[in-house]
Amino acid sequence: MPMTTSWHRLAHPDSELDRICGSMKRPRLEASQITRELEELHDVAAEFALERDTLPPTAPAGRTGATDAATVRTASMLTRPEREHVIRALRVGEAHEEIWYVTDTNGHRRYLHQLIAFEISTFEACSRHIAEFASMPWRFHYDVAGQIRDELRHLEMWLERLPHTGGRLGEWPLSAHEYAVCAGHDVPCRIGLLERLVEASALDSLDLHRCLWETRGDQVMTAYLARVQVDEIGHVRLGNHWLRRLCADDAEIERLVTRAESAAREHALAAARALERAGLVPPGNAELVRRKFDDPLALAVDTTARTRAGFTAAEIAVEADRRRHAARQEVAT
């Protein structure tokens, strides 16, 4: 029986839904078909040589593998996401350059994989916001759970698009950048890094992405990005709201975010260099990790989106200044 999932309606609240999304209606998968697809994904996962880097530690004597896996999953300071075999096996740092200007179908598939990785990493990081900080107020957990719901909805959108490009999940490795950036930090630093820094940078690029897909005449990608843009403004606003509750004043937020970013950057670069030295990732991995931090600084600040997301005029001016400074350094090197 044909089905249309509920997020289609959320993504397209107007009556244009059927016209835009008609092609998305597809028959419900049979259990045997799902099993077959999972087996295929396992085959793809096995092709990635770096899987050994992501396997959980061996269970100590006297403990079952299941008990050990549960302990790992619920540890208070996970440094990497505990993913299902297929997804976890695809995590290989930043082994591939990011793609933002799509010119062909192959590029579209890689672009979708980047978005898929972003959504997965983000809702995993948000899940740890809740799991590791049970003593935060109920309202915080409620807000973050709402963000997880949104990120899952975004993930469904990109997964829905993938078959239309002839692609399938697993063709390209998935980065865990957003998760790794947050790991090991306390709750204000996590919010500072994920919602205030990484997601706010995404806000600066979303309008450009939406316009590019509009120019390409892809109505579905344009509609999905418009939906994501609305949600992301909400996520950054949520981050700003909680930072203002947790910090004494705006100056403290600024210091906290700067300090957290520098620590996360240093840690990520050191880890990438170690992976390179150990031969676990191709040469150039550390440079790709550096660009993951630095490339967003080449974007112009989207003042309108940031204002709606709860940044003050002074904070927007500081961010614009930071980018001018980064651009000058880039020219000088």
Minimum separation from the CB atom of position 81 to Fe ion (A):
16
Q: Which is nearer to Fe ion, 116 or 275 (CB)?
A: 116
Minimum separation from the CB atom of position 315 to Fe ion (A):
19
Minimum separation from the CB atom of position 280 to Fe ion (A):
29
Stretch that binds Fe ion, among 13-21, 145-153, 212-220, 296-304 (CB under 5 A): 145-153
- The verdict on 235 binding Fe ion (CB under 5 A) reads yes
Longest CA–CA span in the chain (Å) reads 61
Stretch that binds Fe ion, among 78-86, 174-182, 193-201, 275-283 (CB under 5 A): 193-201
Query: What binding mask, one character per residue, do residues 149-188 give for Fe ion by CB under 5 A, x or -?
Result: --x--x----------------------------------
- The verdict on 143 binding Fe ion (CB under 5 A) reads no
Q: Which is nearer to Fe ion, 94 or 151 (CB)?
A: 151
Closest CA to 168 of 92, 112, 100: 112
Q: Which is nearer to Fe ion, 119 or 124 (CB)?
A: 119
Stretch that binds Fe ion, among 59-67, 93-101, 117-125, 279-287 (CB under 5 A): 117-125
Minimum separation from the CB atom of position 203 to Fe ion (A):
9
Stretch that binds Fe ion, among 45-53, 111-119, 131-139, 299-307 (CB under 5 A): 111-119
Distance CA 96, CA 106 (A): 14
Minimum separation from the CB atom of position 228 to Fe ion (A):
6
89-113 b/e with 16+ CB inside 10 Å = b? bbbbbbbbeebeebeeeeebbbbbb
Q: Which is nearer to Fe ion, 140 or 275 (CB)?
A: 140
Stretch that binds Fe ion, among 62-70, 130-138, 162-170, 224-232 (CB under 5 A): 224-232
Q: Which is nearer to Fe ion, 44 or 159 (CB)?
A: 159
Minimum separation from the CB atom of position 202 to Fe ion (A):
7
Minimum separation from the CB atom of position 150 to Fe ion (A):
6
Residues in contact with Fe ion by the rule CB under 5 A:
119, 151, 154, 199, 232, 235
